[in-house]
Structure 1
Amino acid sequence: MHILLAALGILAAVAFWLYRARAAVDNTRVVLDAAQDVKAAARRFGYRTRANQHPTEGVDDPRVTGAALLVVVAETDGGISKAEQDEILEQLSSVFGLSARDAEELYLFSKWLANQSSNPDDMMRRLIKHTITLGGRDTLPDMISMVRAVGMADTGTLTDDTQQVIEWLKQLSG
């Protein structure tokens, strides 16, 4: 009887470790798929890595830098909430005229781009400057309305950081 219990114990241990190994493989696959999605979006939106330059300099599309600015604004209060993510996707679809799939792709890539700096203020300035360089000053009214919408998505009020970004944009447009 004790041999039967030992055999069952060994089988249970083997099954447990096989299950854990399969779960690890599945999790790795999810991470790799997400990385492939970001790479595909980067290629689609014309991103090129440039030696000795900040990652924002590799962007040739003002929609990417504008979307990354929205991500940085949403992250300033401690992370992107579901309401902020939904608002970013809505703004990308309505202002840029993107389909839901394209907006999601742009969001994933801009989220990666926004996290390439540990200093959010520096990243915001770089993104604003590069968006204006790529799209011109005509992009500023849309950027202001998009930042305002994302900033108000969670609580209905703007944080001090979001108000500061809007003031920077207003100063540049005036």
Structure 2
Amino acid sequence: MSELAAKRGAVPAAKKALFLVFHIGSERYALRATEVAEVLPRLPLKPIAHAPVWVAGIFAHRGALVPVIDLSALAFGTPAQARTSTRLVLVHYQPQPWVEARRLGLILEQATDTLRCGLEEFQAYGLDNREAPYLGPVREDAEGLMQWIGVNDLLTDDVRALLFSSELSL
């Protein structure tokens, strides 16, 4: 049998997805790379008055104002540590399919690694954490558990209205 015929008859390998891996404290988390627009160094931000403490501020990026949240402060009430590996990650935020995707900045600690794995490797962890709907399924490996963060579930309606006021009319 020729090499081409052997390839045609082979079972296709499971599709692998790419994830950006980061930490909150000592715990590992992941964002799907297709949701990541750009990874920047941590930048100075303008604070937003009367915003929740986990809203880190806004900054101007390529002619647009981008709101930024501190994921560590959102999840556990403790701001991200200022490390050389702490990054400002711009993601495509689209909470509803009929709303145009917007840029949202996330302050993430140790956001320097990637992982390629099958989506099916992440499994539901059995808790219904309604206070944190962005916490998705978990994956276990030799380093322990890693949790998938759902970008589109990060903001409550009130905070989304504060950060993206132009969407109110939709």
TM-score by length of 2: 0.28
Q: Where is the helix percentage greater, Structure 1 or Structure 2?
A: 1
Q: Going by fraction, where is strand more abundant, 1 or 2?
A: 2
State the TM-score, normalizing by the size of structure 1.
Answer: 0.28
**Structure with bigger gyration radius:** 1
